[in-house]
């Protein structure tokens, strides 16, 4: 098997697949890892895939020009966002200036990238997605917008932003802004679908899905929770303990305070500011262009303790360590063992803590808090 980059180290950005002039590349998702496989019978050895691959040719990382923490001045925007609403306000700024925003949304059972040209179309982008999304098809489209002298804002994972920058490197018109998220690592959507099927639910049957709720138990109409609100389900336990990421994530080149984008955003963990349950965003301005965009957005900004921000966001220092029992999990996964059982075996203490908390909440002895658990709305 001939692959574009090192075996099992593919980040799954799909750039090589999309830009191959002979459609000779396919991304194979094995849940545990991904590979960009070359069909040697179709390959003309043009090396486009090799040059666009960020694993083979990494981008230069740069230090910040400024650090801030803050939130949207619009309470409704802040409330609906996973953190302080910075991504939403940056997006609103760009579309209000006639630009387009490209980001991830859940649609027809898949986590895909779409383009938004107005405020209404931005709504589907809100919320954290604790799963690997698929940017296939966006690179040529972004090129078209840039070549027609449009402003483009791309919001995604660091590896997806790197792919956009490499794929559009020859575009001399327009204005491209890249915003990456502070990322723990991401599981394959196959892993998520396996988890959901335990509950008799296929992703294609779902209208919307939410991984995290910063309120107490503020549920949407017709929304269904996998577990008792205020506790973590087994997918969330596995995610937050780094058990189910694809293999490349444990060697992530972007888990560093130096970045490759215009802006980096995440939660302002460790802040001394009161959030009142509404969320506070951390924003790293990696370029002057990024800083100018933040300053134009309708957000409240204040200084942040940089040392504390880095200490509270471990992925600004190093990638997540691969758990010793990850192999045991995926060996069981390959044998179709029950997902929840595997998590209970591999994360026993964390699982038991959530089990006890669930009983206490049901007995109304304790309340909830920030909820890291999956909730969804089925299609009608």
- Tens of pLDDT, residue by residue over 33-68, are 999 999 999 999 999 999 999 999 999 999 999 999
Question: Residue 218: is its pLDDT beyond 60?
Answer: no
Q: Which of 296, 316, 336 is the endpoint of a domain?
A: 316
Q: Which two tokens stand for residue 216?
A: 């107490």
Lowest-confidence segment of 211-220, 223-232, 294-303, 343-352 by average pLDDT: 211-220
Same domain, 179 and 94: yes
Instruction: Give the domain CATH number at 21.
Output: 3.30.70.20
User: What is the C-alpha separation between 173 and 170, in angstroms, rounded?
Assistant: 9
Segment 78-135, tens digit of pLDDT? 888 888 999 999 999 999 999 999 999 988 889 999 999 999 999 888 777 889 999 9
Q: How far is CA 147 from the centre of its chain?
A: 27
Q: Residue 214 has what pLDDT?
A: 55
Q: Residue 219 has what pLDDT?
A: 27
Same domain, 31 and 150: no
Same domain, 11 and 106: no
Same domain, 101 and 164: yes
Lowest-confidence segment of 171-175, 190-194, 306-310, 316-320 by average pLDDT: 171-175
Question: Residue 29: is its pLDDT beyond 60?
Answer: yes
Segment 153-204, tens digit of pLDDT? 999 999 999 999 999 998 878 899 999 999 999 999 999 999 999 988 888 8
Give mean pLDDT, residues 248-272: 96
Q: Residue 217 has what pLDDT?
A: 31
pLDDT band at 363 (very low <50, low <70, confident <90, very high): confident
Q: How far is CA 240 from the centre of its chain?
A: 13
Q: Which residues touch 108 (CB under 8 Å, ≥6 apart)?
A: 204
HSE, side-chain direction, 13 A CA sphere, residue 84: 28
Q: For the chain, how are helix, strand and coil distributed in percent, rounded to 5? A: 35, 20, 45
Question: Residue 140: is its pLDDT beyond 80?
Answer: yes
What is the residue-averaged pLDDT of the chain? 91
- Number of structural domains the chain divides into: 3
pLDDT band at 372 (very low <50, low <70, confident <90, very high): low
pLDDT band at 222 (very low <50, low <70, confident <90, very high): very low
Give the residue with greater pLDDT, 27 vs 203.
27
User: What is the C-alpha separation between 191 and 197, in angstroms, rounded?
Assistant: 10
Same domain, 241 and 251: no
SS3 72: strand
Domain with 4, as residue range(s), is 1-57
Q: Residue 108 has what pLDDT?
A: 85
Q: Which residues touch 354 (CB under 8 Å, ≥6 apart)?
A: 227, 231, 232, 237
Same domain, 289 and 140: yes
């Amino acid at each position: 098997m001939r692959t574009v980059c090192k075996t099992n180290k593919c980040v799954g950005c799909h750039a090589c697949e999309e830009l191959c002039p002979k459609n000779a590349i396919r991304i194979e998702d094995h849940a545990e890892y991904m590979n960009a496989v070359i069909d040697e019978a179709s390959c003309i050895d043009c090396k486009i895939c090799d040059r666009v691959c960020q694993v083979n040719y990494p981008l230069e990382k740069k230090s910040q020009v400024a650090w801030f923490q803050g939130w949207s001045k619009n309470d409704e925007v802040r409330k609906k966002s996973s953190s302080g609403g910075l991504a939403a306000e940056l997006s609103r700024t760009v579309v209000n200036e006639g630009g387009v925003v490209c980001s991830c949304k859940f649609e027809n059972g898949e986590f895909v990238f779409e383009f938004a040209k107005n405020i209404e179309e931005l709504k589907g982008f809100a919320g954290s997605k604790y799963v690997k999304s698929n940017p296939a098809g966006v690179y040529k489209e972004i090129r078209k917008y840039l070549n027609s002298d449009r402003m483009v804002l791309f919001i995604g994972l660091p590896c997806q932003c790197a792919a956009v920058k490499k794929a559009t490197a020859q575009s001399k018109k327009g204005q491209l802004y890249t915003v990456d998220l502070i990322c723990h690592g991401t599981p394959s959507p196959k892993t998520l679908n396996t988890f959901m099927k335990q509950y008799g639910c296929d992703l294609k049957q779902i209208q919307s899905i939410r991984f995290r709720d910063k309120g107490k138990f503020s549920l949407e109409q017709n929304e269904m929770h996998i577990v008792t609100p205020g506790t973590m389900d087994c997918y969330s336990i596995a995610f937050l303990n780094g058990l189910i990421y694809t293999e490349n994530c444990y060697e992530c080149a972007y888990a560093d305070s130096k970045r490759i984008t215009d802006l980096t955003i995440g939660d302002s963990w460790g802040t001394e500011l009161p959030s009142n349950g509404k969320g506070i965003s951390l924003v790293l301005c990696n370029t002057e262009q990024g800083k100018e965009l933040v300053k134009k957005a309708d957000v409240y900004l204040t200084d942040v303790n940089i040392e504390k921000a880095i200490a509270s966001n471990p992925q600004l220092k190093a990638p997540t360590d691969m758990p010793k029992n990850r192999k045991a999990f995926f060996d069981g996964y390959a044998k179709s063992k029950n997902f929840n059982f595997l998590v209970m075996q591999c994360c026993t203490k964390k699982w038991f803590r959530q089990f006890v908390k669930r009983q206490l909440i049901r007995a109304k002895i304790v309340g909830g808090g920030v909820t890291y658990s999956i909730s969804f709305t089925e299609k009608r």
